[in-house]
Amino acid sequence: MKRLSLRFLEWMGVKADKVRRKISSFDIWLEEKLEQERDQLPLWLPIAFGGGILLWFAIPDISEWLGCGCLLLALALAAWIWADKKRAAKAALIMAVAAFLGMVDISFRAYNVAPIKPRNWGVFDIRGQILQSEYQPSRKRMRLVIAVPVFQDGSLSPPPSSLLSKQASSWPPISSLPQRFLPLLSRHPPQIQQPSSLLSCTLLLSQQASSLSSSLPSLSRPSTKTVRSYQASFSPFLFMAQVTPPSFVRPSPFASLSFLSLSERSPFRFSKEDSPARPSLMRVRISVNDHFDFSGLEAGAKIAVRVKLTAPMPAQIPAGYDYAEIAWFQRISATGHALDQPVILEKPVLSGFSLIMASIHQRLTRHIIEKLGARSGGVAAAFVTNDIGSISESDTVAMRKAGLTHLLSVGGMHIGVVIAAVMFITIRLLALSPYLVLHFPLRMIAACNAALIGMLYTFVAGCEIPTVRSMLTAFFILFGMMIGRRAVSLRLVAAAAMLILLIQPENILSPSFQLSFAAVGTVIALAEAPIMSIFGDRREAGWLKKTALIIAEIIIGGVMVEAVVSPVTLYHFHQSGFYGALANILAIPLTTFVTIPAEGLALLTDLIGCSAPFWWVTDQSIRLLLAIAHYVASLPMAGFMLPLIGAWLCLFMMAGWLWLGLWKTSWRLWGVVPLVLGVLMIILNPRPDWVISRDGKTIAFKTDNPKQPYQFVWPEKDSYSQDQIANLIGFDQEEEKQLFGTNLCQKGFCEIALAQQHYNLLAIKGKAAGLSPEECSQNDWVVSSARLPVSCHPKRLKIDRCLLEKRGGLVFYRKSPFLRRPVMIASYSANDQHPWIRSMETRGCTKNLNRNG
């Protein structure tokens, strides 16, 4: 092969010796670079592993998953041949295997956590045990996660006891059986007199059928006179008594005997012991409005409530919030809301560790809110328990625009304060004993105690991603201190990321995971950079110079963190900010040295009843923090909005930051190239011309009026889909009210003609009754929230319920600046095989979607 390639190059006029020299020189240069960067190579292992996970999410089809896995294994095999001689080949081998294992890990995880799906959706009376309880005063509701027993056939209620004691008078007469069975029954009448249960009736029928089958050689000849198995089951419409002999030469009329019609609402399957099969547990998330009584709704309590259940909502628009995917990995089968007052059947029974932690989490959150009120208490609860549902929407938006959202999740700062306080108190208390000081390593004991307390605090805080990441990093730091190794490095961050991805690989898509690791990795990489050495030695500097250096270090670190996480925030939230570094200069010291210590002391002194001064300090510091957030958020360009950017652009820019931050030699500067190109693409990125939600009821389009650049087709008040579409286009809620103007249509049929964009659209809300083929053919687009008839053939594209349920929300660009042609982006691929997408039913839709254009 090598000779053939060289001969081909010679035939093309290229000298083989010249090519050989260039390849050899490049090989030598690459080996030298990798030798210089050998300490940094392990940092790319979790990136390769995460890349395999992202490949699994990006590739829609099972055959393509297998093909990609085979390609990775082929690459690993090819690299293995040269692994003993070349460092580059060894690195390629390890990275290919890591990517393959990432695909395998997420595949097993996705199919292993498959939640139980109910038989249908609607209104149910359910009974179950509360697993999680979250009070959200800002939204005036209580959110519960309940474990509901589900039987083998999908029913949610236990079988009524009356079904086990039906009398024979309620059975249909023998004469109602099919006519072909009557001669047999006249010759061998069944001896059934008032069976006491369904099972006894089945046993008598099975015995009679066995004797009949043994005496009827013309019909069938069983190999034995005893019936091996039987099964009694019933559905909402038909009770089936099945008598199955071991083997028949010809089918027997008694092999399947239908004889009873029931009208019970909930079906159940009976075992041989005449009892319902042991149910499985289905997780259901419901919301309870504040006009119901919340007392007693705590983790561990067993309740009964009437609820309306629906399937978890998928993403309404591309790159939108996909709760169906999140619920799949959390094993949540259904969502809904309570229709009446929940009834407490049993008080909380904290039988397991998770229920104990959930109960502590809930009680601690409620206690903090009761002490500080709804506004300050919501923020204070987020500092301790990670519960952000109690924070008002205005404060959440202000914190996001000011770049202070990271303070609302229990992360490195919170874990660091807790561990430092525990270590300090432990060492001081143990040092009171001279014997312990002389005979035991107090520092190691304090570190172990701090690690234990930190782990318990992580469970109380809900085991969110930033908390787990911070706790793992703290464990590694404490272990390094024990063995005398360097405490903080990028390898700790890489190890923590690898552990999280191994256990829960789906977290790689979480904004919390991405922002958390990007921020902490940036801080550590910046601290290790040679240029930051000027801030290192401050021992001989005066207090004024020390203060200036600390402020400058915080500003530089804040600016770099904002720059690194900006691709992630733009992709997920369509916004970024300029003043996050300035806000963090005031917010981080205030939170670290005032708010969190005061809140911790307040919780401790609550035990002895003298916590009022500490709660007052906590309240005032949180009010000051919110004032800083609102002031920074009100500044011009504090939180600028941008339209949708593709996932590939976000990955392209993050690859540039990784290349720039993980390498040490001069070739790290190559990472600037994708960053510059990414910024140019973001600047040139246009706003979409059309956005259609997944349900087809929310449609936004670009108008010809520059004063009102966008309009919604139908009016909707406080619409979630409408707000999401406005954010995707690049407008916040205030701009949405000003720029989107009035709604276009008030009725079901709406015809839109845009002269400058050269197309017409017919939008239909509800059933398309009376739609003629001529109306379809006169329009370029026809969009409907219901199923359109097969005879409808528009000029370009037909979008109805079938297409939207299969592909999700749609974004349409009339002319893309990169491709110079019309582009349509969908939430899902046409034949997406991911399990949470396959579980969505396309009711009444055929496999082949009707599309034109």
pLDDT at 735 over 80: no
In a domain, 310, yes or no: yes
- By DSSP bridging, strand 141-150 and strand 122-136 are antiparallel
| Together in a domain, 169 and 230 | yes
For 453, phi and psi rounded to 5 degrees? -65, -40
pLDDT given at position 740:
65
pLDDT at 558 over 50: yes
pLDDT given at position 737:
67
pLDDT given at position 205:
43
The tokens describing 340, both together, are 């009446």
In this prediction, residue 248 has a pLDDT band, given cuts at 50, 70 and 90, of very low
The residue-averaged pLDDT of 721-729 equals: 86
In this prediction, residue 738 has a pLDDT band, given cuts at 50, 70 and 90, of low
| Cβ proximity of 465 and 507 under 8 Å | yes
pLDDT given at position 8:
56
Q: pLDDT above 90 covers what percent of the chain?
A: 18
pLDDT at 168 over 60: no
User: Do you know the residue count of the chain?
Assistant: 853
In a domain, 621, yes or no: yes
pLDDT given at position 509:
92
Beta strands in 542-682 (DSSP E): 575-576, 640-641
Per the model's pLDDT, the better-predicted residue between 288 and 61 turns out to be: 288
In this prediction, residue 354 has a pLDDT band, given cuts at 50, 70 and 90, of confident
Whole-number Å distance between alpha carbons of 34 and 772: 68
| Together in a domain, 730 and 799 | yes
The pLDDT tens digits for 479-496 are 877 776 666 788 888 988
| Together in a domain, 608 and 752 | no
- Last residue of some domain: 621, 651, 681? 651
DSSP-assigned beta bridge partners for residue 257:
241
| Cβ proximity of 379 and 626 under 8 Å | yes
Q: How many CB atoms within 10 Å of residue 137?
A: 19
The tokens describing 531, both together, are 């240029």
| Cβ proximity of 142 and 293 under 8 Å | no
Say whether 387 sits in a helix, a strand or coil. coil
| Together in a domain, 453 and 587 | yes
CA neighbor of 712 nearest in space, from 750, 759, 766, 685: 750
In a domain, 631, yes or no: yes
Say whether 850 sits in a helix, a strand or coil. coil
Q: What totals of helices (H) and strands (E) does the chain contain, helices first? A: 28, 21
Per the model's pLDDT, the better-predicted residue between 178 and 339 turns out to be: 339
Within 8 A by CB and 6+ apart from 102, the residues are 48, 49, 50, 51, 52, 53, 55, 56, 501, 505
The residue-averaged pLDDT of 294-306 equals: 88
Helix (H) or strand (E) holding 231: strand 229-234
Identify which of 64-68, 268-272, 470-474 has the greatest average pLDDT: 64-68
Per the model's pLDDT, the better-predicted residue between 79 and 838 turns out to be: 79
Per the model's pLDDT, the better-predicted residue between 749 and 251 turns out to be: 749
Pick from 255-269, 557-571, 616-630: least confident? 255-269
pLDDT at 171 over 50: no
For 284, phi and psi rounded to 5 degrees? -130, 130
- Last residue of some domain: 112, 146, 169? 112
DSSP category for residue 506: G
For 304, phi and psi rounded to 5 degrees? -125, 135
Q: Which domain holds residue 319?
A: 122-158+277-349
| Together in a domain, 515 and 410 | yes
Domain CATH for 304: 2.40.50.140
The pLDDT tens digits for 776-809 are 888 888 888 888 888 888 888 888 888 888 888 9
| Together in a domain, 170 and 131 | no
Q: pLDDT above 70 covers what percent of the chain?
A: 76
In a domain, 766, yes or no: yes
* Backbone conformation region of residue 151, classed left if phi is above 0, alpha if psi is from -120 to 50, else beta: beta
pLDDT at 345 over 60: yes
The residue-averaged pLDDT of 159-163 equals: 40
In this prediction, residue 138 has a pLDDT band, given cuts at 50, 70 and 90, of confident
Residue owning tokens 């390498």:
663
In a domain, 665, yes or no: no
CA–CA distance from 464 to each of 131, 322, 460, 468, 510 (Å)? 16, 18, 10, 6, 11
| Together in a domain, 639 and 576 | yes
Identify which of 141-155, 537-551, 598-612, 832-846 has the greatest average pLDDT: 598-612
3-state secondary structure 623-664: HHHHHHHHHHHCCCCCCEECCCCCHHHHHHHHHHHHHHHHCC
CA neighbor of 39 nearest in space, from 518, 651, 528: 528
The residue-averaged pLDDT of 92-105 equals: 94
User: What is the distance between the terminal CA atoms of the chain, rounded to a whole angstrom?
Assistant: 46
pTM score: 0.78
In this prediction, residue 763 has a pLDDT band, given cuts at 50, 70 and 90, of confident
Per the model's pLDDT, the better-predicted residue between 650 and 17 turns out to be: 650
The pLDDT tens digits for 622-656 are 999 999 999 988 888 777 788 888 889 999 999 99
In this prediction, residue 502 has a pLDDT band, given cuts at 50, 70 and 90, of very high
| Together in a domain, 152 and 165 | no
pLDDT given at position 48:
95
pLDDT at 174 over 60: no
| Cβ proximity of 796 and 759 under 8 Å | yes
| Cβ proximity of 789 and 768 under 8 Å | yes
217-226 burial, b for 16+ CB within 10 Å, e for fewer? eebbebeeee
pLDDT given at position 757:
64
DSSP-assigned beta bridge partners for residue 782:
762, 798
- Last residue of some domain: 253, 269, 285? 269
pLDDT given at position 393:
81
Per the model's pLDDT, the better-predicted residue between 24 and 450 turns out to be: 450
Q: How many CB atoms within 10 Å of residue 63?
A: 10
In this prediction, residue 212 has a pLDDT band, given cuts at 50, 70 and 90, of very low
The tokens describing 850, both together, are 């009707």
The pLDDT tens digits for 380-414 are 988 888 888 788 888 888 888 888 888 888 877 78
DSSP category for residue 250: S
Per the model's pLDDT, the better-predicted residue between 760 and 237 turns out to be: 760
pLDDT at 45 over 50: yes
Pick from 139-148, 212-221, 634-643, 714-723: least confident? 212-221
In a domain, 677, yes or no: no
| Together in a domain, 65 and 130 | no
pLDDT at 81 over 60: yes
| Together in a domain, 417 and 497 | yes
| Cβ proximity of 575 and 639 under 8 Å | yes
| Together in a domain, 413 and 328 | no
CA neighbor of 802 nearest in space, from 848, 764, 749, 748: 848
In a domain, 258, yes or no: yes
CA–CA distance from 415 to each of 362, 384, 507, 701, 755 (Å)? 19, 10, 20, 47, 59
The residue-averaged pLDDT of 686-695 equals: 88
| Together in a domain, 487 and 365 | yes
The residue-averaged pLDDT of 305-334 equals: 90
Whole-number Å distance between alpha carbons of 321 and 574: 12
| Cβ proximity of 817 and 684 under 8 Å | yes
Whole-number Å distance between alpha carbons of 391 and 405: 12
pLDDT given at position 680:
92
The pLDDT tens digits for 585-598 are 888 889 888 998 89
Say whether 333 sits in a helix, a strand or coil. strand
Sign, CA torsion 498/502/503/509: positive
Q: What is the mean pLDDT of the chain?
A: 77
What DSSP string runs through 150-199? E-TTS--SPPPGGGGS--GGGSPPGGGS-GGGHHHHHHS-----S-SSHH
For 789, phi and psi rounded to 5 degrees? -65, 155
pLDDT given at position 210:
45
Whole-number Å distance between alpha carbons of 354 and 362: 12
pLDDT at 472 over 50: yes
Domains of the chain: total: 5
pLDDT given at position 55:
94
Whole-number Å distance between alpha carbons of 469 and 722: 35
Identify which of 43-52, 318-327, 791-800 has the greatest average pLDDT: 43-52
pLDDT at 299 over 60: yes
pLDDT at 247 over 70: no
Per the model's pLDDT, the better-predicted residue between 17 and 665 turns out to be: 665
pLDDT given at position 215:
42
Tell me how far apart the 2 most distant CA atoms of the chain are, in Å: 113
In a domain, 455, yes or no: yes
